[in-house]
Amino acid sequence: SQTIHQWPATLVQPVGSPLSLECTVEGTSNPNLYWYRQAAGRGLQLLFYSVGIGQISSEVPQNLSASRPQDRQFILSSKKLLLSDSGFYLCAWSPLGTPNTEAFFGQGTRLTVV
């Protein structure tokens, strides 16, 4: 069966510090991968999505970046965090080329920038 791992679950970082969040998927190949951010009481904002290794689409201009060094690994990074980067970050995967199936979410990372 397929599983998705996302870590850490919670993170408190000072303004200006770097960030690296990692997400890995097991039990499937060539997944679509997504990074979303959810501000308190708000919906999911799509940050990045990837259809393959090294193929990253950025949805929102920001100081965040994403990379996909391996087929089932998706990394969200920042060189210098801002207070506005606080939020609930969710990684998700869906089977490639099958839009009628759901996206499966990781447990999420709650990031607080102080």
Partner 1 sequence: QKEVEQNSGPLSVPEGAIASLNCTYSDRGSQSFFWYRQYSGKSPELIMFIYSNGDKEDGRFTAQLNKASQYVSLLIRDSQPSDSATYLCAVYTGKLIFGQGTTLQVKP
Q: Judged by CB, which is closer to partner 1: 49, or 74?
A: 49
The yes or no reply on residue 43 touching partner 1 (CB under 8 A) is yes
The yes or no reply on residue 49 touching partner 1 (CB under 8 A) is yes
Question: How far is 21 from 7, CA to CA, in rounded Å?
Answer: 6
> Least separation, in Å, of the C-beta of 10 and partner 1?
11
Q: Judged by CB, which is closer to partner 1: 14, or 41?
A: 41
> Least separation, in Å, of the C-beta of 19 and partner 1?
20
CA angle centred on 112, ends 110 and 114, rounded to 5°: 170
Cα 110 from chain centroid (whole Å):
12
Find out whether 86 and 92 touch, Cβ atoms under 8 Å.
Answer: no
Question: How far is 24 from 36, CA to CA, in rounded Å?
Answer: 15
Show the site string, 91-110: x = touches partner 1 by CB under 8 A, - = not: -x-x----xxxxx-xxxx-x
Q: Which of 64, 28, 29, 31 is nearest to 45 (CA)?
A: 64
Q: Judged by CB, which is closer to partner 1: 16, or 59?
A: 59
Give the interface with partner 1 as residue ranges (CB under 8 A): 34, 36, 42-46, 49, 57, 59, 90, 92, 94, 99-103, 105-108, 110
